Structures are given as C-alpha cells and as structure tokens.
C-alpha cells in the first residue's frame, strides 16, 4: 500500500465500484461482451482487437465502449442490449466480494455515506443489486444515465456528492479495480483514490493511473480512511 498525503478521518462519503470491487466478477463482464459480439455476428478477424479494447477500457460506461468500437449509434445500442442480456442471464452466479457488505455496513454505522457506482445501465444495476440482496445496502446507487457521463469522467462521483450533501470533494474516498475508477476519483477531487486488486487491473496499472493507495480488497479501505 502506498502512502497517502491528505486523508482521512474527515471522509464523509465513500464511492465504491461494483463489478470487480464489491462484486465478484470472475470474467463475467468480458464474457458478456463476447456474447454481444456473437449476437452481432462480428467476424472472427475483428474480435481480438475489440476484446483488447474492452480489457483496456474496463470500468468505463458500457454503451460508450460500444460506441467507440462501432462508430454507429444504432449498432452500439444493439450491442449494449445484447451485452446486458448476456450479463443478466448469469446473475444467479454473482457473489459479493468477501467482506464487502460488512465493510459498507461498518462505514454507514460510523456515519460515512456510501454510494455504489457502476458502468452498467440502471436496469442491469438494479437486477444485480436484487440478485445480491443489496437493494438497501448503500445510501445511493449511480449509473451513467443518472449522472450524465460514466467513467472516466467525474460525473457519477460528483452526483453522489450533490445528492448526499457532502461538504467538500476532499471529504470523498473512491475505490475501484480499474484505471478508469482511479481517473474518475482524481478528476472528482477525492482525497482518497484507492485501486483495488480484486478485479481487472494490476498494481502497476492502478499506480500508473495515479491511485493514492493500492489495496488487496475493499475491506482494507476501512483502515485506509481511518474509519477502523
């Protein structure tokens, strides 16, 4: 874990990513992307570059990934619908990251508000929360459609700041498993931006994106922000 300079007991809001950070992913997002390519009958020779791009941009808004891949709004929307259908079909297999629910509960018990943020649509997000039994786990859940833009833009974090009436962006901690999560937190002005090693990106990529901390699990965030 790297040293941080500006944190911590003054944290009022924690923004947590879902897939890969609080929810065990096990490659489900990438598999759903491949299923979307199948549904659109994308030729085999185009697929390796597309999958590489999906991996490179993991954590960003799914519709924006498809827009970048296809450059056609109708095709992007069709691909996104196929992706979400494939992901939703496997929701019976999703599991929380060990200790994630308890960590959220502890944060809230200590008066720290918690927002879950995701690149999924509101529909897929809500189905995922229902499958986990997490409909009331956080103070707020935010998708790109709720905020204007998804990651790597700061909109979802800033939306949580406004809706939960946080005093200052410096009173925010952000945690996620991708470089996009880190960029979002930095752009939003959060004082703690933790990369989490339970998902897509490795330590070097998270540090390269500017993470103030790199932690093995979201559970460690309690100690990072001085809440334990």
Whether 4 has a pLDDT exceeding 80, the answer reads: no
pLDDT at 43: 84
Model confidence pLDDT, tens digit, residues 135-190: 999 999 999 989 988 889 999 999 999 999 999 999 999 999 999 999 999 999 99
Residue partners of 126: CB distance under 8 A and separation at least 6: 135, 141
What's the pLDDT at 22? 93
Q: The tokens of 185 are what?
A: 């937190």
No. of helices (H) and no. of strands (E), the chain: 11, 8
Helix (H) or strand (E) holding 131: helix 122-132
Quick one: residue 20, left, alpha or beta (phi over 0 = left, psi -120 to 50 = alpha)?
Answer: left
Spatial CA neighbour of 172 closest among 120, 107, 122: 107
pLDDT digits (tens, 9 = 90+) for 74-129: 988 898 899 888 888 888 888 999 999 999 999 999 999 999 999 888 888 998 99
């Amino acid at each position: 874990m790297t040293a941080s300079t500006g944190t911590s007991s003054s944290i009022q809001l924690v923004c947590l990513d879902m897939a890969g950070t609080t929810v065990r992913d096990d490659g489900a997002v990438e598999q759903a992307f491949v299923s979307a390519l199948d549904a659109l009958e994308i030729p085999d020779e185009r697929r390796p570059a597309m999958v590489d791009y999906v991996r490179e941009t993991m954590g960003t808004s799914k519709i924006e990934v498809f827009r970048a891949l296809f450059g056609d709004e109708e095709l992007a929307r069709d691909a996104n619908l196929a992706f979400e259908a494939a992901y939703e079909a496997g929701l019976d297999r999703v599991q929380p990251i060990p200790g994630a629910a308890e960590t959220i509960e502890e944060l809230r018990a200590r008066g720290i508000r918690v927002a879950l943020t995701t690149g999924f649509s509101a529909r897929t997000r809500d189905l995922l929360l229902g499958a986990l039994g997490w409909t009331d786990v956080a103070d707020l859940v935010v998708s790109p459609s709720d905020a204007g833009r998804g990651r790597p833009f700061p909109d979802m974090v800033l939306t949580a700041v406004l809706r939960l009436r946080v005093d200052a962006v410096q009173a925010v901690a952000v945690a996620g498993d991708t470089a996009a999560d880190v960029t979002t937190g930095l752009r939003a002005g959060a004082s703690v931006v933790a990369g989490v090693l339970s998902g897509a990106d490795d330590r070097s990529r998270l540090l390269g994106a500017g993470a103030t901390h790199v932690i093995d699990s979201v559970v460690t965030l309690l100690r990072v922000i001085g809440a334990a």
